Chain A
Amino acid sequence: MVTLEHVTKTYQKKNIGLEDVSVHIAPGEFVSIVGQSGSGKTTFAKLVIAEEKADRGKIIVGGWDITHVRHHAIPTLRRQIGVVFQDFKLLPKKTLFENVAFALEVAGQSTKRIASVVPQLLKIVGLEQKMDRFPDQISGGEQQRVVIARALAHRPKLLVADEPTGNLDSINAQEIIALLQKINEFGTTVVLVTHNREIVNMLKKRVITLDHGHVIADQRAGKYLL
């Protein structure tokens, strides 16, 4: 589902994001990416969704070589990947329904389809009862579930989540992880970037550990190393 071959990404001023990273993630996998702050986890996620471009190496997502993806093809790629990023929260002036609908609207889906799909998506994350509320009328954990519902809007084969539990207490975090597991069970490949030792150890899934832009460990049913 995701393949990186000798990928290097250097930011301005020689800031190393990733250096000579090779990783293969098979369809249906649930992979955690861990590492200290600044180790390149977000860079990894951004490369996969073509938010950043690699300086060297090759990146293949869903059988599509996106190393030199054309600018106008990026929307097509994004509609195949669900994205949960720290800095892409809900729009405060839209209801939960509208927030999820937004992802379908901007991709040109018909109003009729949106009306039927959005409640289904909110049902997956257990919030179909609250779809007329605004983001500030629900808890942080619930907000994050809506973000996940939005990421699922295009029924992606791949879900990339960068610290989805970042600001949540452990109970809420557990719920989010359970949700991601459920999504994974339905066949979506999940790439989870996290700091949370507890979660990683509980998951008992594949763990890729980054350090200073290098892969220093890749365990099948791993534990949080650092």
Chain B
Amino acid sequence: MTTLWRMIKFGYQNFWRNIWLSLVTVLIVMLNLFLMSVVMGVNVVGQQTLIAVKQKVNLSVFFLPTISEQRVGEIGKELALKPEVASVKVTTRAENLQRLKNDPRYGSLVKSAVAELGENPLGASLEIKAKTLDGYATIAGYLRDKKYADFIDPRNGIVADNLQANNLLATIVHRIELAAAWLIVFFGLIALLMIFNTIRVNIYTQREEIGIMKLVGASDAFVRGPFVVTSIMYGLLASVLTTILLVPLLTFANPYFNQFFAGYSVDVLGYFQGHLLIILGLEVAVGCGLAMLSSLLAIGRYLRV
């Protein structure tokens, strides 16, 4: 216990003895952690957007006006039993008409057309959500089956809303993911090298103490421990400061995010605040992990005991 405490004390002294070097190290590690967080953030936003857009993907099936709503409801129930289908919602003829009337682009046109015809020219429709994106093609396949095909409006009876946009986004998000992984490795390496070099300098400045420690019978762990402590101080400080720095930055940037993601349920600041502890934990884990690794490397390389 005393030993551990003294190692922490010596590590702390190392930190202060090379205070400028320590500050520069913490700053650079901070910068890299920050960049890693930004990359991670872009990644998370991408995923969230993808989820948000996925929720807007569905298959709309418009039936002929001659098909009764009851029949459409039955078909809906049949489809709901298919393994690919997540949910099915029936929209009545009247609802479809109302929706079209409310559309500012067609509203007046539709109203006059209905007045002329004297009846609702629209059929009922089904809104189908698949469990996975691949499911939509399969479901569309069921609908093209003779069993249903005759009931469905042959011109544009099956419409996959947002499916293409979603596929494009999925590709982009996937690429971002890949780039993010490389960038994170890259920034991590820079942080690693920075701490490595600082510990190397620390070892060099302490070589007299190290020599004396060994001569008076300090154990290897005791000679090495303080340097690990010092580097963990770097990692800890850098990660906590980075997290603290992220709060005002995100608060500042949040209105822009909201503008960008208007209409989608993507809330960057909310996500950050909701996951603050996890994010802090992650930063600390990454910061301290890198610090441990680099100090162990430096010790192994430069502190031959």
Contacts and interface: CB of A to CB of B under 8 A. Distances in A.
Nearest to A147: B212
Contacts of B215: 49, 78, 83, 85, 88
Nearest to A87: B211
Interface in A88-106: 88-89, 91, 102-103, 105-106
A106 B2 contact: no
A154 interface: yes
Contact of A91 (B3, B208, B214): B208
Contacts, number: 61
Interface in A7-36: none
A72 B224 CA distance: 13
A76 B217 CA distance: 6
A106 B220 contact: no
Interface string B1-43: 0110010000000000000000000000000000000000000
Chain B CB within 10 Å, residue with most, of A49, A75, A107, A154 = A75
B161 interface: no
B209 interface: yes
A85 B216 CA distance: 11
Interface in A46-76: 49, 71-72, 75-76
Contact of B216 (A71, A76, A83, A111): A83
B211 A91 contact: no
B212 A75 contact: no
B222 interface: yes
B209 A91 contact: yes
A78 B212 contact: no
Interface residues of A, number: 27
Contacts of B214: 75, 78
Interface string B183-219: 0000000000000000000000000110111111111
B216 to A, nearest CB: 4
A154 B216 contact: yes
Contacts of B219: 72, 75, 108
B2 A108 contact: yes
B218 A107 contact: yes
Contacts of B209: 91, 102
B217 A75 contact: yes
A190 interface: no
B212 A79 contact: no
Chain B CB within 10 Å, residue with most, of A76, A79, A108 = A108
A88 B220 contact: no
Nearest to A106: B218
A78 B217 contact: yes
A110 interface: yes
A145 interface: no
Interface string A133-174: 000000000000000001101100000000000000000000
Given A88-B211, A108-B2, A111-B2, A153 B220 contact: no
Interface string B83-122: 0000000000000000000000000000000000000000
Chain A CB within 10 Å, residue with most, of B214, B215, B217, B218 = B217
Given A75-B217, A78-B214, A78-B216, A106 B222 contact: yes
Interface string B290-305: 0000000000000001
A106 B211 CA distance: 12
Given A79-B216, A107-B218, A109-B2, 6 more contacts: A49-B215, A87-B211, A88-B212, A103-B217, A106-B213, A108-B3
Give 10 closest A-B pairs by Cβ, nearest first: A78-B217, A106-B218, A79-B217, A103-B216, A75-B217, A108-B3, A75-B219, A106-B213, A83-B215, A107-B217
13 contacts: A49-B215, A71-B305, A72-B220, A79-B217, A83-B216, A91-B209, A102-B212, A103-B212, A103-B216, A103-B217, A106-B6, A107-B217, A151-B216
Interface of B: 2-3, 6, 208-209, 211-220, 222-223, 305
